[in-house]
Amino acid sequence: MRILFVCTGNTCRSPMAEALLRERIQAAGNGWEVRSAGVAAYEGQPASSQAVQVMAEYGITHQHQASRVNSDLVEWADVILTMTGSHKSLLNSYFPEAQSKVFTLMEFAGVEGLGDIADPFGGSVDDYRRCAQELDGLLDRLWNRLSAGE
């Protein structure tokens, strides 16, 4: 299983989701792969300092460098999970051949409605903590779904 998380700049939400899921994958030893990218990312930019701090609070060290979504990443992924409906729409317009594997994270995790993960960019560490907590809960649901073979 290859999972790609997508947000805007690939410095906050998608790198945190990637790091949190990677921890689960390493603990389970199931061979899944996870990456992240942004629809408007500046290649090589590090994760925001608040995201790094919050991941450290989870015991995670993640040496992240931003990547822009491209056709190679889209082809690599079995499932592409976006942070917002707008990200999903952009990917579907840029990569129409991949529509069957593009979902919002909330949608794929089975959360009712089409909610978005709030962007903590420019916010306080507490904003990042709230975002990470939301992601962590959604990743629990995602993990259970994928582990069950859905």
pLDDT digits (tens, 9 = 90+) for 26-77: 999 899 999 999 999 999 999 999 999 999 999 999 889 999 999 999 999 9
The mean predicted confidence, pLDDT, of the chain is: 95
Q: What is the pLDDT of residue 94?
A: 97
Please choose, from the candidates 42, 54, 49, the residue with its C-alpha nearest in 3D space to the C-alpha of residue 17.
54
Please choose, from the candidates 128, 108, 104, 129, the residue with its C-alpha nearest in 3D space to the C-alpha of residue 116.
104
Query: For residues 13 and 132, what is the distance between their CA atoms, to the nearest angstrom?
Result: 8
Mean pLDDT of 127-149: 94
Query: What letter represents residue 103's amino acid?
Result: F
Domains assigned to the chain: 2-147 (3.40.50.2300)
Q: What is the pLDDT of residue 87?
A: 98
Helices (H), the chain: 13-28, 49-57, 71-76, 85-94, 105-109, 125-147
| 92, two tokens | 């579907």
Active site (catalytic) residues:
7, 13, 119
Residue 20 confidence (pLDDT) above 60: yes
Mean pLDDT of 13-31: 95
